[in-house]
Structure 1
Amino acid sequence: MSRVDLEAVRKRFGALDVIHGVDLAIEDGSFCVFVGPSGCGKSTLLRMIAGLESVSGGTIRIGSRPVNDVEPAARGIGMVFQSYALYPHMTVRGNMGFGLRATGTSRAETERRLQRAAGILQLDSLLDRKPAQLSGGQRQRVAIGRAIMREPEVFLFDEPLSNLDAELRVQMRVEIAGLHRRLGNTMIYVTHDQTEAMTLADRIVVLRGGRVEQTGAPLELYDDPATAFVAGFIGSPRMNFLRGTAEPGGGVAFAGTRATVPWRSGPPAPGTPVQVGIRPEHLRDDGPVRLAVTVEVAEQLGGVSYLYGTTPGAERLVVERRGLAAARAGETVTVGLEPRDLRVFDGEGRRLR
């Protein structure tokens, strides 16, 4: 097992900079998830760690060793791609052992590693099947098993679940989390799905435009976002954002109501335009701050319901309610909130505390 350090890492394609001086320290044995929208640089960063993309500037270290000029096969990494990339004419046994055979590993050692990986991933009964005889989840387990057989220091996952259906994604998330607990290796995982990030990671790196927007534990990013971008990206449904204005005495006026925010570092100057963020689950039937919402759609999902509506200022708002929502389209309901649940941001999206 090894830690991974990125020091002022940059990537340039011609005249275009796509990774802008990223500094990261990924601890030994941690499960780190790179998350962000398409084009933010998360896969490029992963491929640079793997050695599949060159580094235009800065240093990547695996353990204490700089690996900028080290070939991918010598970096001590095992990579699982979005595509299973299995040889259709080979059995599971053949696919998992191919890489070791190609590097001259003995038959006995290859078989030892095969049996270990198959046992971990519950592939023992599938070793003589070919990929066409496997489900999508089983094929992905074979791809992971191929990486395990390398006995790497670091596992790299590049959106490995995006080709699976919703039920299989949930199942594979559980299996990958269990794999990390059993093996204890450092794992770096790329996804655009913040649900995967929240459920798998012990540390999330949110990327935006080739820069690190914020890093931290999943619930830390959810509850204490540093920017409006992070607040809106982490969480499903996303955080509601409403236009507001700072008032004297630490108050904020928004959506036809007003709240006194418990500032840590002092309120913004009165008259300052702000963005007021509130999570859907923090809009309740009670609460000292009251807000009118005209319902457009009531989405009933059984144990939880979502009301999609608008404020008096025609700003969109999502309200979460436990159980079946009684409100119907066209109805105006009043919801409440606690001032401590508000997250306030300036015009540039930076958090005001």
Structure 2
Amino acid sequence: MAQIELKDVRKSYGATPVIHGISLGIEQGEFVVFVGPSGCGKSTLLRMIAGLETITDGDLYIGGKRMNDEEPSDRGVAMVFQSYALYPHMSVADNMSFGLRMTGRPKAEIAEKVQRAASILQLEKLLDRKPAQLSGGQRQRVAIGRAIVRNPDVFLFDEPLSNLDAELRVQMRVEIAKLHGTLGNTMIYVTHDQTEAVTLADRIVVLRAGVVEQVGTPMELYENPDNAFVAGFIGSPRMNFLSATASGPKQVTLNGIDVALPHLQSDLTAGQALQLGVRPEHLDAPAGIELPVSVDVSEQLGSTTYVHSRLADGEVLIAERRGSAPRSGEATVLRFDPASVRLFDQAGARVR
């Protein structure tokens, strides 16, 4: 049995539904990331698990026990918020121990748990400081420490790195990954940043408009997306989508060029309108289908260059190049292996 199980969970605000019947199982010790664009319902779903939002319909089980009507403090979860939510007049030690003190835990136990959490998060030298004396990354570690001392079965993270600058985000991402390896607790993490999702998750849950689009490991979603939304959301830069038309059972025509796709399991219908998806890194193949393009902009990022270009019909492509790359305004040829493409119908469903 999964440690956390959602069974056809729904949420509505008045007559407006925002979560549309989600069923999901999360195993003991898993690191699961809810990812999707703003407004897709990922934070609402997390808050329903935490008990901060009521469940309109369906059932939530944690450890085999139905939790729909249980108080947040009785669910065995601890939540880390985007805003840190630290008490400014309290020291780091007092912020971390506040929940334990409110429940009347013995002083020796509180001190031991605070010291353990501070050691894990490298906060030992900061225990006497106030939040105003800390950096953003240090404040976020204190917020995580406050969750650790409660020794929860499940950690819930609601976009905890959104307020940090780029360098700190990378550092804290590594710290959270190490924390999961050290503690081994189940963790559910909400983000709109697909880079965070891919680097942290055992499994990713991709949400759109209150519906789960796909669940899988990062590489499953990257290499085998179920639809164009998942294919475009997972990967940076995003997958290129080009208009194509079926010209045979396993062949499409793209910009006047025939592309054979023998790996397709199903036959295409001649004249069928399709979308051909190809990732930027696959447009630098040594041989394959050639696409003449004009370069708009070349973004040089050290060892990698992103070439923003367009076909003769105006469709835009982003290609990833290693080493030398064409300059802005130049004409060049991009190449891809047909085996690397993914095909979708006009509604965005995967054609396999």
Q: What TM-score results when the alignment is normalised by the length of structure 2?
A: 0.98
**Structure 1 consecutive aligned stretches of length 4 or more whose deviation exceeds 3 Å:** none
What amino acid sits opposite 2:87 in the alignment?
A: Y
1:350 matched to which residue of 2? 349
- For structure 2, the residue ranges without an aligned partner over 5 or more in a row are none
Native 8 Å contact 2:249 2:268 kept in 1: no
Mapped pair 1:294 → 2:291: no
Mapped pair 1:333 → 2:332: yes
2:145 matched to which residue of 1? 145
Mapped pair 1:186 → 2:161: no
Secondary structure in 2 matching 1:271: coil
Native 8 Å contact 1:227 1:349 kept in 2: yes
Native 8 Å contact 1:18 1:210 kept in 2: yes
Deviations 1:61-92 (Å, cap 9, x if unpaired)?
A: 11101100000001000100000111111110
- TM-aligned CA deviation for residue 249 of structure 1: 4.1
Moved more, 272-281 or 245-254: 245-254
Figure out how many residues of one structure are paired with residues of the other and give that number. 351
Query: Structure 1: how far apart are the matches of 2:166 and 2:338?
Result: 36
Query: Structure 1: how far apart are the matches of 2:258 and 2:291?
Result: 9
2:52 matched to which residue of 1? 52
- TM-aligned CA deviation for residue 109 of structure 1: 1.1
Secondary structure in 2 matching 1:348: coil
Query: Structure 2: how far apart are the matches of 1:13 and 1:148?
Result: 32
Query: Structure 1: how far apart are the matches of 2:155 and 2:76?
Result: 9
Native 8 Å contact 2:240 2:279 kept in 1: yes
Secondary structure in 1 matching 2:105: coil
Native 8 Å contact 1:29 1:187 kept in 2: yes
1:262 matched to which residue of 2? 262
Query: Structure 1: how far apart are the matches of 2:134 and 2:306?
Result: 38
Query: Structure 1: how far apart are the matches of 2:171 and 2:79?
Result: 20
Query: Structure 1: how far apart are the matches of 2:158 and 2:249?
Result: 49
- TM-aligned CA deviation for residue 319 of structure 1: 0.6
1:135 matched to which residue of 2? 135
Query: Structure 1: how far apart are the matches of 2:202 and 2:285?
Result: 33
- TM-aligned CA deviation for residue 267 of structure 1: 2.4
Deviations 1:181-227 (Å, cap 9, x if unpaired)?
A: 00000000000000000000010000001000000000110011000
Secondary structure in 2 matching 1:263: coil
Secondary structure in 2 matching 1:85: coil
1:308 matched to which residue of 2? 308
What amino acid sits opposite 1:25 in the alignment?
A: G
Native 8 Å contact 2:36 2:191 kept in 1: yes
Deviations 1:2-27 (Å, cap 9, x if unpaired)?
A: 72110000001000000000000011
2:156 matched to which residue of 1? 156
What amino acid sits opposite 1:342 in the alignment?
A: V
What amino acid sits opposite 1:309 in the alignment?
A: S
Query: Structure 1: how far apart are the matches of 2:310 and 2:118?
Result: 53
Native 8 Å contact 1:304 1:324 kept in 2: no
Secondary structure in 2 matching 1:345: strand
Deviations 1:120-166 (Å, cap 9, x if unpaired)?
A: 11111110111111111000000000000110000000000000000
Secondary structure in 2 matching 1:144: helix
- TM-aligned CA deviation for residue 265 of structure 1: 2.2
Query: Structure 2: how far apart are the matches of 1:235 and 1:257?
Result: 26
Query: Structure 2: how far apart are the matches of 1:65 and 1:291?
Result: 57
Secondary structure in 2 matching 1:78: strand
